[in-house]
């Protein structure tokens, strides 16, 4: 349906969709019909994306994550995998938010949002710019901090245990790690509940 193509891969709410069908007696029924036909994919109540079969473009899980629940930015394993810093595939898009934690499931996948303090939230966020859209994602340093701080029961309090976690458990690209910026680690430690663990990252980095 050509009228939907103008949205591309940008998530769109029900109100905006219904404005396309004001000539219909019941625009909301038209939107529901398009969903039932698979031309619109529901991300959550009141939020859709146009099917790639219609738009001819691949969807961005990271862009969708920003729109499902916010303010938020993509982080943790999802960001590390995006940057090519860990080898394992990631099946849940994980994001940080200053709001309450939430989980969503939709035809695209699973989305998890983890609460963090307001002072901690803005550190090390990057805007990833693509051809026709952009989304917020943690820098590699912030993604690693988020993973260490907000993984339950993870407490690598000693340098040896932290190095083992990075190299063996996470299988992080250590060459890339040694190119990271200590300033972001130090800023995160200031507002983190796991200061010692983040300072261990700084010590291993040696900067």
Average pLDDT over residues 104-117: 97
Q: Are strands 125-129 and 92-97 parallel, antiparallel or unpaired?
A: unpaired
Domain stop point among 40, 55, 70:
55
Which residue is it, tokens 């990252």?
A: 201
188 and 89 within one domain = yes
pLDDT of residue 162: 96
Are residues 131 and 195 both part of a single domain?
yes
- Say whether both 41 and 88 belong to one domain: no
pLDDT digit string (tens) for 85-96?
A: 999 999 999 999
Same domain, 28 and 87: no
45 and 67 inside one domain: no
The pTM (predicted TM-score) of the whole model is 0.93
Query: Are residues 36 and 68 located together in one domain of the fold?
Result: no
Q: Which of 156, 4, 131, 143 is nearest to 83 (CA)?
A: 143
Whole-number pLDDT of residue 27: 86
Q: How confident is the model at residue 207 (pLDDT cuts 50, 70, 90)?
A: low
Last residue of a domain, one of 13, 30, 55: 55
103 and 25 belong to one structural domain: no
Same domain assignment for residues 73 and 87: yes
Q: How confident is the model at residue 6 (pLDDT cuts 50, 70, 90)?
A: confident
Return the percentage of the chain with pLDDT > 90, whole number: 87
Does residue 153 or residue 77 have the better pLDDT?
77
Residues 27 and 78 in one domain: no
Q: What is the pLDDT of residues 38-68, one digit of tens each?
A: 999 999 999 999 999 999 999 999 999 999 9
Question: Is residue 145 packed enough to be buried (19+ CB in 10 Å), middle (13-18) or exposed (0-12)?
Answer: buried
Cβ atoms 121, 106 nearer than 8 A: no
Do 70 and 160 reside in the same domain of the chain? yes
Q: Are residues 98 and 119 in the same domain?
A: yes
What is the distance of C-alpha 57 from the center of its chain?
A: 20
User: Which of these three, 22, 39, 55, is where a domain ends?
Assistant: 55
| Rounded (5°) CA angle 193-198-203 | 150
Distance CA 122, CA 46 (A): 28
Tell me the pLDDT band of 1, cut-offs 50, 70 and 90: low
Residue-wise pLDDT tens digits, 113-160: 999 999 999 999 999 999 899 999 999 999 999 999 999 989 888 999
- Domain range spanning residue 191? 61-205
Q: Are residues 111 and 79 in the same domain?
A: yes
Number of domains, the chain: 2
Average pLDDT over residues 194-199: 95
């Amino acid at each position: 349906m050509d009228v939907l193509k103008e949205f591309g891969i940008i998530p769109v709410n029900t109100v905006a969709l219904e404005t396309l069908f004001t000539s219909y007696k019941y625009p909301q029924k038209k939107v529901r019909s398009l969903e039932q036909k698979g031309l619109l994919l529901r991300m959550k109540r009141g939020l859709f994306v146009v099917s790639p079969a219609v738009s001819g473009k691949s969807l961005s899980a990271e862009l969708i994550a920003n729109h499902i629940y916010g303010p938020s930015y993509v982080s943790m394993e999802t960001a590390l995998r995006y940057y090519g810093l860990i080898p394992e595939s990631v099946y849940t898009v994980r994001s940080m938010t200053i709001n309450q934690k939430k989980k969503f499931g939709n035809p695209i996948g699973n989305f998890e949002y983890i609460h963090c303090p307001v002072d901690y939230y803005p550190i090390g966020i990057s805007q990833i710019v693509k051809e026709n859209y952009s989304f917020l994602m943690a820098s590699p340093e912030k993604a690693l901090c988020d993973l260490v701080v907000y993984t339950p029961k993870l407490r690598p309090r000693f340098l040896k245990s932290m190095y083992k976690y990075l190299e063996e458990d996470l299988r992080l690209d250590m060459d890339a790690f040694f190119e990271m910026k200590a300033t972001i680690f130090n800023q995160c430690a200031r507002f983190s509940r796991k200061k010692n663990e983040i300072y261990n990252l700084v010590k291993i980095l040696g900067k």
